[in-house]
Amino acid sequence: MLNAQPVTLIEVGPRDGLQNESQFVPTNVKIQFIHKLKQAGFKEMEITSLVSPKWVPQMKDARDVINAIQDDTRNIVLVPNKKGIELAEELSCSSLAVFVGVSNTFNQKNINKTTQESLQELVPLIEQLKQQNKFIRACISTSFYCPYEGKIAEREVLALGEAFAKAGVDELSIADTIGMANPKEVYSLFSSFVKADLPLLLTAHFHDTRGMAIANIYAALQAGITRFDTSAGGLGGCPFAKGATGNVATEDVVFMLEQMGLQTGIDLNALLDAVAFLSPYVSRKIDSKHFALQHNLGHL
C-alpha cells in the first residue's frame, strides 16, 4: 500500500521537452520558462544539454542558459561524452546527467558506440567527477523496449544499473524511451531494482506514446518508487527513437499524486502558468489534460 510520503518530480521540460522542438525557442524564453518552473516549486530540473548543435540545434544556447541559471537547487545538465563533460566543468556545472541505452542498436544510432563501449568511456569520467563532488545522474534509455531490437530483457537493465552503481553515480533514471511499457512490466522491473538495494536514487521516466504513462507511474509507486521525471506540458520525445512522443505531462502527474494524498511540493496553478507562457513558442499543441481544462474552465 502507498503511504503519504512525499514524491519528488524532476522537471525535464527545458531539456528533454524542448530538444526535439522543430522551431528554435528564444534563449530568453527558455530562461524565463525555467524561472517560472522554479517558482512553481521544482528543486530538481534538467535545464539543458551540452551536445553538438549539429545534432540538437535547440540546445545551441546551452552556455547562456547555464550561465543564467545559478542557484542552490539541482540544475542538471546532460553531457553525452567526454567533450561535453569537459565543457560542463569549464562552466562550473555541479549536477550532470550521462546516458546509455540498454539496446546496442539504439546506442550505436544515438552516439555511435555500443552499450559496453559507452560504459568503458563513462566509468573513469564518472569516478573523476565524483572526486570533485559532482552530482551524477545516469539515464538508462530503452529500459523496456527498443525501436530496433524490441523487448529488452530485465536482467540487461539491472546489469547496466549495477554497473553505474559500481561507478558511483548518485541517481538512475530508468526510461521507457518509446512509451511501450505496461504496468505489469513496470512493477516487475522497479521491484527488482528496489530489491537490489543499490546505493543510489531510483527515478522512473515515462513517455506517453500509448497513453500508458500515468498507469505506469502508479505501478512504479506500488513498487516503491517515489521519484519521477516529468515534462511540463507533456513536451518532448527522442530525436533518435522513432515513435517516441512526449514525456508524461507534469501537471497531470501533480494532479493525480495530490488527489491520492501524495505531496509533491508543486503549485499546480503556477505550473500551468509556466506552460501557458511557453505555449506560443512551440510548434506542437499542448494537449495535457490539465492544460486543456485550464483553457476551457479557467484555473482549477
Q: Are 179 and 141 in contact (CB under 8 A)?
A: no
Distance between CA 33 and CA 23 in Å, rounded? 16
**Strands 95-101 and 135-141: what pairing?**
parallel
Element (H, E) at 104: helix 104-111
Is 139 tagged catalytic?
no
Q: At what angle do helices 27-39 and 268-278 cross, to 10 degrees?
A: 170
Q: Are 176 and 207 in contact (CB under 8 A)?
A: yes
Query: Cell digits for 66?
Result: 547555464
Nearest to 287 by CA among 216, 232, 220: 232
The catalytically annotated residue of 93, 139, 146, 238 is: 238
Positions marked active-site: 238
